[in-house]
Amino acid sequence: MKHLGYTRGCQQPNHLLLTPDTFVRAPLPGMQKATATVHAAPRLGARFTEYSAEFEPDGTLGDTPLQRFIYVLDGGLRFTCPHFREDLLAGDYVYMPAGAAHSVCALETTRALVIEKPYQDLPGATAPASFRGSLGRAVSQPLMGDPEVQVRPLLPDSPQFDFALNSMTFAPGASLPMVEIHVMEHGLLMLDGGGIYRLGDCWHPVAAGDFIWMAPYCPQWFCAVGKTPAQYLIYKDWNRHAD
């Protein structure tokens, strides 16, 4: 018996908060020496899949017909595709378009965040090519002129991409400048620090390791609480008409 059944984890019609104490690990097809905690998936109502993959040394991911984004949280992954081969360490990431052959093999005990999504064509635009990047090289910009809230886009600013993935860092006490209510959905992983997340009509204390899914139009606001900055990685659908 743990905490008499208490958890901060919470599911509501317009959002989901998953705290690490609620994570249930299971292998996905094709995974070897690895497990996944699936945070968001179509059965939740999301139009993408986001999961944390945990690898033993030499662990691998299975194939996917979908576009795939992999961000290394800690440890190291050897990534191989026809265009490049690279050892990815914490903060490094790769993007692979739908159907692109690639393989991933853990160099040591490793955790990575994985996003998979069917690609939504845009008439007149070609699908993006594979690429690699690193959080440390992503250019930071203030959110709506506030230097205390820094946004680092991890994907190129191009209509080819049907989603965006940003790092957001809040100085202690800094907050989103407004309660946002928008058509895009979000998948969010807290990387550092913590604070209060308003989601719909709930105010949740959140901390590093938590995952949040926000449905389209879910009212959202965040304020960093504590003596260290809060940082999260946030997914949103992007560059496409709403349907």
Q: Compute CA distances 4 → 7, 10, 17, 86, 243, whole Å.
A: 9, 16, 19, 46, 43
Q: CB of residue 33 vs Mn ion: minimum separation in angstroms?
A: 36
Interface pick for Mn ion out of 180, 200, 216, 223 (rule CB under 5 A) = 180
Interface pick for ligand UGY out of 105, 168, 206, 230 (rule CB under 6 A) = 168
- Closer residue to ligand UGY in complex, CB, 39/236: 236
Number of chain positions touching ligand UGY (CB under 6 A): 7
SS3 137: helix
Please state, in angstroms and rounded to a whole number, the distance separating the CA atoms of residues 164 and 153: 7
Residue nearest to ligand UGY (CB): 220
- Is residue 198 involved in binding ligand UGY (CB under 6 A)? no
- Is residue 152 involved in binding ligand UGY (CB under 6 A)? no
Question: Does residue 104 contact residue 78 with C-beta atoms inside 8 Å?
Answer: yes
The DSSP output letter for 192 is: E
Please state, in angstroms and rounded to a whole number, the distance separating the CA atoms of residues 146 and 174: 9
- Is residue 190 involved in binding ligand UGY (CB under 6 A)? no
Give the residues lining the site for ligand UGY (CB under 6 A).
168, 176, 180, 186, 220, 234, 236
